[in-house]
Structure 1
Amino acid sequence: MPHDSQILAANQMRDAEQALIDAGASVDALMQVAGRGAAEWVWRMAGHRRVTVLCGPGNNGGDGYVLAEAIRERGGHARVVAAAEPATDACRKARALFGGEVLGPDADATGDVLVDCLFGTGLTRPLSAEHAELLNRLAAAHQRLVAVDLPSGVQSDSGMLLNERLPVYDLTIALGAWKFAHFLMPASARMGRLQRVPIGVGAVPGAALAIAKPQVQAPTADAHKYRRGLLAVVGGAMPGAAVLAGIAAQRAGAGYVKLFAESKRNVPADLVVDQGHLSDVLVDDRNTAVLVGPGLGRDGTARERLAVALADAVPVVIDADALVLLAPRHLAERDAAVIATPHEGELVALERAFDLDGAGTRPERALALAAASGMVVVAKGPDTVVAAPDGRIACAARASPWLSTAGTGDVLAGVIASRVATGRDAFDAACEGVWLHGEAARLCPPAFTAGQLAEAVPLALAECL
C-alpha cells in the first residue's frame, strides 16, 4: 500500500508517531519536519506577504512555531499569536527557537494569511468560547486561511464540526498521513485544497485508503470485444436510466455492453438492445458482469428481474430501485461478487434490511453493511466511501458539487459495472469507477447534465493510461 494514500484514525496516527519515536526519532525532530514541510506550502501561498500563525498550547502549536520560524528564515513576515502558553516540552522548545514576534490572544492582529495551528488531530470536544472567538476574529482579519493538519474544531475520525461557527479555509495541510475528516462531510467542505507533508510514517496494517488515480492498461493488440468484457444492463419501468448507465459503461472500458429492454426507442445505435426474455440474456456464458437497478421500478416485474440478475454467476452491480428491493435472501446463494451503490436514503434502507442500527461514522456504517451483506458497498454522495467485506475501506476526494443533478448516479453505476466487467476485483473496480466519475465531472463545464458526464468518461479514462 502506498504510504501517501493511507488514511489514519486518530489512534492510528498516535501509534504511528510513537513507532517513529521508538525507532529513534525525537518529538522535536518530527516537529521540525512537519512544521517546515507545512511552511513550504504556506510560502507558496504567502511569499513575502504578512503571515499570522495562531498557535495552541500543544504540539500542533509547536508545529506552528516551527512554521513561523521557517517563514521568517526565508525573509518572510511571520508573527505568532499564542492562544495559550505552551503545555508540552516540544512546544516550549519550538517557541524558544522562534525569533519573531509573539503576541497574546488579545492582540489586534491583521495580515494576509492566517495559519491555524490551534488544535489538530485528536480533538474530541468543542473549542472553548474564548478560542472560538479568537479563531473567528483572526480569520475575519486575514484574506487567506490555512489549516495545519486539520482545521481547529473538527473531529478527526468522523468529519463532524464540534463548533457551530467555524471558518472556511483555502488550504489544509495534512501532517504525516491523511485523516478521515479530510474526506468526510461536513468538515471536508470547509478545508479548501488539500496537501500532505510526509514525516516518515510507515504503512499501517488495515489503514483506509484515499482513492487515487488508477492505472489502466489499454487493450492488448489481439483484443476483441468479448475479451474486454461483456456487461449486461437490466432495464425496467423507466428505460432512460438504464440507457444512460449503458452509455457510461460503453465509455469506461468494457468491450461490449448489452441492454435488456422492452424497446429500442431513444437508444443510441451503438448500444445493443436485447428484447428477449431476461433469463435468456443472463444465461449467456460470455457475460462478465451484470448491472441491475437504474430505472428498474419496484413492482412485481422489477422484483423478478432483480432475482434473475442475481442468479447469474458473475459479479453484479446493484443500484437505485434494486437497492430498495434487495433483501438478505437474495444474496444467500451467491458466490460471485456484488457491488451496491447506495446514496444516503438507500443506505438507510439497506441497513434496515440487514438489521443494522446505522450507528457510527460513515466509514463505519459502510464497513458494517459490507460485513453483514458480503457486498462491496459504495456509499455515494459528497463524501463517497467504498467498503469491502474483508475490511478494506477507501474514501474519495471531494468531487464537483455539480454532480448533484439527476442521472449522475446512473452514470456512476455504469462506470463501476464496466470496470468490473473488464475483470477487475470488485473493490478495485468500485474505486476506479468512483475516481473516473469524479474526474469526468471535473472535466465537464459547470451545470453539466448526466449525459455530458457520461460523454466525458473517456477523457478521464485517458488520464489513467
Structure 2
Amino acid sequence: MTAADRAAIAAGTPGEMLMERAGQGVVEAILARFEVQPVTVLCGPGNNGGDGYVVARLLSERGWPVEVRALAEPATDDARTMRGRWSGPVKPLSGPVGEGLVVDALFGAGLARPLDGLAAAAVTALTNRAEQVIAVDIPSGLPGDTGAPLGVAVCAGLTVTFHARKPAHVLEPGRSLCGEIVVVDIGLGETPTRLVENGPEAWAARFPWPETHSHKHARGRLIVVSGDAWSTGAARLASRGGLRIGAGLVTILSTEEALASNAAHLEAVMLKPFATELELEQAADHADAAIIGPAAGVSETTLLNVLALARTGAALVIDADAITVFRDDPEELFSVLDRDDVLTPHPGEFERLFPGVLKAAPERITAARRAAERAGSVVLLKGPDTVIAAPDGRAAVNLNGSPWLATAGSGDVLAGFIGGLVSQGMDSFDAACAGAWIHAEAAALHGPGLISEDLPGLAPRILRRLYAER
C-alpha cells in the first residue's frame, strides 16, 4: 500500500487528492447505511487522521451534526492541509463520546506499537458500540500486516479501506474486529501482488468444465484410499466430493476386510481391493489424482501407502492421518512430494509437519508460504481464514469461511473436492482455492443443521451458478 501511494504521487496525483478521495469513500459508505444523526470523528496525528478531517467536513456539508476530537495536532503535510479545511472546532480526545456514530480515524494500517494513554482510553470506551463505529482503513490498534491486535483495539461494525484489503482485514482475529468491509478505489491503479482474495475471479477462467466431446476418462480418474473396515466413511465422503465436483471416474481402493462395508454404500463410486503397498501402487498407476489420509490410520501401513502413491504419476492430496504419520520425520514426506501435490492440514497437523513455523511466523500467510516452500507442494492451512500457498510464493486467503463446517467429516469432503478438480487437470493451487471456496459456499447455502454428508449434494448448485457466470 505504501508503494502504491508513492507510485501514484510520483506519477502526479497529489497526496491530498488521494486523501480527499479516501474521505469521500468513507462518507459514501456512511450515507448508504445510516440516517442523519450525530457523528463524532476521532482523528489521530497521521494521514489516517487526515482522512478523518475530510470525513468530518463532507458530512457537515451534508447537514450532519459533527464533532471532531483530536489526539494531537496533525504531523503530516496532507493531514495539516485537511485540518485547515475543517472549519469547525476541534476538541481534545479526552472525555466521554456522545451518542450517535463514531468515526475511528486515530491510526491506520501502519501501526507498529500498542495504543496507550488517551488513545487506549478512547478505544476502550467504544467497547460494546461496534455497530455505531466506522473504522477508516482499519480499526485502530490493529496492525495491517498481521491481524493480531497489539493491545486494545477498536471493534467496528463497518471498516472502509482503500485500494485493496490488507492481511488484517482477512486474518483472524482482525477480520472479526472489522465488521463489514468496504474497499474504495482511490485511483492508485494496478499493483503487483502474489497474495489474492480467494474467489472465482482468481480461478474461474481455468475451471475444468467438460466439453462436447468429453468422456468419463477424459474428465479425470480419481482414487481414494479407504481406512479399515470400521473406518470407511471418510473415504466415501471424499469420493462423493470428488465425483460431485466433476471427476469422471472415482474409485475407492480398499483392503479385503473393508470391501463389504464400502460396497454396501457405493453406487457410482467404484471399488477395488488391494492388500500391499505394491498392489496399491499398481492399482493407482493410471490415476490422475489420489487422496490418502481420511481415516487411514496413523500406522506404518499408511506411511508405506503414501510412499507407494508417490511413485505413481498421480497428483496427491494428503490429509489427516497421512499427514500425522510423518510427524517424526517430515522430510521423508517432503522428499517425495512435488508442486502438483496438496497438503491439507488443520493447525494441529500443520504443527506436526512444520514444528514451530506457525508460532514463529507473524501471521498465517507467511507460515503457509514457508511451509509450501519447505514441502515443495501446495499447502492449505485450514481455519476460519483458510490460507492456500504454493511453493512459488502464490498465496490466497479464503473469505467465505463458514462456522457450519465445524462438523466431523467436512475436511474429507474438501479433500474430495480438491482431488476431483486436480484429477480434471486443474492446477493444484487453483484446485485447492476453488475447492475451499466451493466447500464454504455449499456450507453457507445449507446453514444450520449441516452434516458432512450434505456437502457433496450441495456442490452442483454452486457449480451451476459458476457455469452460468462463466
TM-score under structure 1 length normalisation: 0.90
Q: 2:81 aligns with which of 93, 96, 99?
A: 93
Q: Partners in 2 of 1:119 and 1:428 — Cα distance?
A: 36
- CA-CA distance at 1:334 after TM superposition: 5.0
Q: CA RMSD in A?
A: 2.2
Q: Partners in 2 of 1:101 and 1:47 — Cα distance?
A: 23
- Other-structure match for 1:328: 331
Deviations 1:178-233 (A, max 9, x none): 11111111211222122211223344334411112242453212221111111111
- Secondary structure at the residue paired with 2:388? strand
Deviations 1:147-176 (A, max 9, x none): 12111111221211111x434322222212
Bigger mean CA deviation after superposition, 323-332 or 384-393: 323-332
Output the amino acid matched with 2:51. D
Output the amino acid matched with 1:362. R
Q: How does 1:343-362 map to 2 (within 5 A)?
A: 343-352=346-355, 359-360=360-361, 361-362=363-364
Q: Partners in 2 of 1:299 and 1:140 — Cα distance?
A: 50
Q: Partners in 1 of 2:87 and 2:375 — Cα distance?
A: 58
Output the amino acid matched with 1:73. E
Distance 1:64 1:268, change over 3 A: farther
- Other-structure match for 1:288: 288
- CA-CA distance at 1:345 after TM superposition: 0.7
Q: Partners in 2 of 1:306 and 1:220 — Cα distance?
A: 33
Q: How does 1:304-315 map to 2 (within 5 A)?
A: 304-315=304-315
Q: Partners in 1 of 2:58 and 2:324 — Cα distance?
A: 55
Q: Partners in 2 of 1:376 and 1:457 — Cα distance?
A: 23
Q: 1:236 aligns with which of 203, 227, 238?
A: 227
Alignment check: 8 A CA contact 2:339 2:391 kept: no
Output the amino acid matched with 1:420. V
- Other-structure match for 2:187: 200
- Other-structure match for 2:242: 249
1:34 to 2:22 alignment = yes
- Secondary structure at the residue paired with 1:111? coil
- Other-structure match for 1:4: none
Q: Partners in 2 of 1:99 and 1:259 — Cα distance?
A: 73
- Other-structure match for 1:3: none
Q: 2:49 aligns with which of 47, 57, 61?
A: 61
- Other-structure match for 1:271: 269
Alignment check: 8 A CA contact 2:40 2:97 kept: yes
- Other-structure match for 1:168: 155
Q: Partners in 2 of 1:306 and 1:315 — Cα distance?
A: 11
Alignment check: 8 A CA contact 1:290 1:315 kept: yes
- CA-CA distance at 1:68 after TM superposition: 2.4
Instruction: Work out the number of aligned pairs and report it.
Output: 450
- Other-structure match for 1:6: none
- Other-structure match for 1:446: 448
Q: Partners in 2 of 1:92 and 1:330 — Cα distance?
A: 58
- Other-structure match for 1:5: none
Output the amino acid matched with 1:37. G
Deviations 1:389-440 (A, max 9, x none): 1111111115122222221211211111111111111111111111111211
Deviations 1:212-259 (A, max 9, x none): 224245321222111111111111132111111112222222222211
Q: 1:152 aligns with which of 130, 134, 140?
A: 140
Output the amino acid matched with 1:339. V
Q: Partners in 1 of 2:121 and 2:358 — Cα distance?
A: 37
Deviations 1:310-365 (A, max 9, x none): 2221211100011112332344355561110111111111114xx96852121111
Q: 1:463 aligns with which of 442, 461, 465?
A: 465
Q: How does 1:385-424 map to 2 (within 5 A)?
A: 385-424=387-426
- Other-structure match for 1:382: 384
Q: Partners in 1 of 2:216 and 2:445 — Cα distance?
A: 27
Q: Partners in 2 of 1:182 and 1:142 — Cα distance?
A: 16
Alignment check: 8 A CA contact 1:167 1:190 kept: yes
Output the amino acid matched with 2:365. P
Distance 1:152 1:439, change over 3 A: same
- Other-structure match for 2:366: 364
TM-score under structure 2 length normalisation: 0.89
Distance 1:14 1:174, change over 3 A: same
Alignment check: 8 A CA contact 2:223 2:291 kept: yes
Output the amino acid matched with 1:460. I
Q: Partners in 2 of 1:300 and 1:109 — Cα distance?
A: 63
Q: Partners in 1 of 2:139 and 2:222 — Cα distance?
A: 44
Q: 1:83 aligns with which of 53, 61, 71?
A: 71
Deviations 1:357-395 (A, max 9, x none): 852121111111111110111111112111111111111
Alignment check: 8 A CA contact 1:342 1:379 kept: yes
Q: Partners in 2 of 1:20 and 1:128 — Cα distance?
A: 33
Q: How does 1:93-172 map to 2 (within 5 A)?
A: 93-100=81-88, 102-138=90-126, 140=128, 143-163=131-151, 165-172=152-159
- Secondary structure at the residue paired with 2:68? strand
Bigger mean CA deviation after superposition, 104-113 or 118-127: 104-113
Alignment check: 8 A CA contact 1:244 1:407 kept: yes
Q: Partners in 2 of 1:251 and 1:450 — Cα distance?
A: 14
Alignment check: 8 A CA contact 1:366 1:387 kept: yes
Bigger mean CA deviation after superposition, 330-339 or 205-214: 330-339
- CA-CA distance at 1:29 after TM superposition: 0.7
Distance 1:424 1:107, change over 3 A: same
Alignment check: 8 A CA contact 2:133 2:157 kept: yes
Alignment check: 8 A CA contact 1:34 1:176 kept: no
In structure 2, runs of 5+ residues without a counterpart are none
- Other-structure match for 2:434: 432
Q: Partners in 2 of 1:26 and 1:60 — Cα distance?
A: 16
Distance 1:447 1:123, change over 3 A: farther
Q: Partners in 2 of 1:295 and 1:324 — Cα distance?
A: 11
Identity of aligned residues (%): 38
Q: Partners in 2 of 1:193 and 1:443 — Cα distance?
A: 20
Q: Partners in 2 of 1:324 and 1:138 — Cα distance?
A: 44
